[in-house]
Structure 1
Amino acid sequence: MLVLKTLEAPFLQTQNTGACVEHTIVQIQKMDIKPVIVVHGGAWAIPDDLAESSKDGVRYAAKRGFSVLANGGGAVQAVECAVQMLENNPVFDAGHGAVLNAEGDVELDAIIMDGRNLAVGAVSCIKNIANPVMFARTVMEKASCSMLTGAGANKFAETMNIKLVPKEELVTELAIKEWEQYQKYKQSVTCLFNSEQMHDTVGAVAIDNEGNVACATSTGGITNKMVGRVGDCPIIGSGAYADNFTGAVSTTGHGESIMKVTLARLVLFNMEKGETPQDAADHALDYMVNKVNGRGGLITVSKTGEWTARFTTKRMAWASVKNNVLMYGLNPGEILNEVIHL
């Protein structure tokens, strides 16, 4: 990452006029940025029978994403790779593990953002696409807009030769069971969110060797959601945001609450004021609780490679890799680590 450093030289005497002139010398310094990736598998009341598989899933995704960075790949490529691994894992609510809406169908949302130029691609209410994050990147790079939704998005996917899969390939027995549970007891979204009958969003943030940051978020939404309901995930500044000037964020939790406080952008705003990633995250999450009684979690990485994973729900599966050290956790205050060899 190249940073301009301004040095103020002493007042120098000019040859012709004798006037004092202040000279500004600009030097270019190269910051020693270590690549970092952080992933999350959703902030919710993860039941004990999914605890180990959730931790294993985020660990694997983080390692795969970091391998991209270790081999010279960029941050966008790394977060896309990591989120695809989570979308392919039926433990998580994205892609192959997505939950069902009110009509028993699958509607998927995703976003990806490049901190270099604020390029972004987002999709919502799409169907029959196993890796929405890959499609979101296609929108970012190939479409004339930043966000596509519903039938129009699926039509564009066909023109881009994005592979479509049958709904049955994306639906798990657990998703069906959760949907039937909701139908039986008519639980509210809030009750589901705080119970063990709901999954949530996945995401990743990264910084590469060049100091570029990126983020990606993907979800199947909330069990029994209204047809056409869009949560925070694909909304720029809510479900994710990335800017080389500050850092990158991916959020998870109650979508309507996250949208109301534009959680991802709020975290970066706090960091712009000089707060550490952890303080910025905690203050933003506390604000969401106090303002709209919403709970959730997030991961963030700063422009200098500092990172954190924070949440106000019962659990959140997360993992990070920096300097070939894998760190991960699930419960509040839990931090485990191991050395990895790529």
Structure 2
Amino acid sequence: MTPELWKRIPETTNSQEAQNFKVYSAIDKHMPLIPGIKGLYKFAISYRELESAAAHGVKIFYGDDPQHWKRSAARYGYTKPSRHNAARRRKIKNDGRPPDTSKALMTKKSRPAEHAAVYEKSYKWRDNSCWLDCALTLISTAASRDYGQSMAPMFEALPANSPLRDLRQMVHTRTQGSIELLGYEDGGSNLLNNQRDGFRRQIRHVRGHQDRGLRSFSSVFGWLYAICGHHRRRGAVVDPLVERASSYFRSTVVSLKACTGNSSGFDHWQLSHVRARSEFQLSRTLCEKYAGNVRKWFQDLVRVTKSIPQSGCWQVDDGQALCLHGNVVMHEVLLNLPIVLIVEMGVR
């Protein structure tokens, strides 16, 4: 570097900072040693090519003037609008003295809280009732979309001792405005609270429900599966009205088994009784299987061509298998989808 060029270097670090920005933009930050050295080498090669081009009279900048900011400084006294009148924008430091103006002395009045004119009444928490309050609110919201076309006709004429009948009444109270539910009331609606408490006492005695005490916790929708399936006791006559109302929340399936038979035999089939399907659950294993795609999981769920291999044929006589070499597969066919489809997420 010549002495004349050395003297032209400014004393500020602006040029170094600008060059650092160019290096980071061209190469990147926090790189490993070897890739970083290779990047710096290529960066130096590019600047050497620019120097060679400029020495031969090649234009290496955009526009007419590579230092256009100098004209702005000579004309306006500053190069950037943000630097104009910087003294006025400088923050005023507090020296400990009180403010001198009445405007500074006046504190800002807090904005009064605006209460909504109408609130939707709900349930008041009582004895760990959050699981039931949440479930009833979600069911009421889902059923309100077409209550008159689906839930109302499917739940009518239910037996008086059916928990589904009381569930429909609670949904009707919240969605159809059979009582004046609009308007704020501290602690929630007394009518809804009484309905919830009475319903909770009733489902305590449903077979398969785990909430044996009013102060205990329960799963959000475990009670719903229990009241939809408690009428299916072995040997009991299934009421078609209750079965129809249960299909609002639960699906029914049938299993079809097929066996190819022995070499000298013939194909044979077995059709199971129609039964209620277990809860729809998306476990971590299923999430990994379908790569988090709920659509693929649902398409595979309703697909009727899938088959599950079985260990052996079901035909036995006095403990001895009648079909020893047959290939057995089972098809589980989904007969209906519930109107309110509940999917439990994150279960193992």
TM-score, reference length from structure 1: 0.26
What TM-score do the two structures reach when normalised by structure 2?
0.25
Greater radius of gyration (CA): 2
Higher helix share: 2
Q: Which structure shows the bigger proportion of residues in strand conformation?
A: 1
Question: Comparing both chains, which one has the higher relative contact order based on Cα–Cα distances under 8 Å and sequence gaps of 6 or more?
Answer: 1
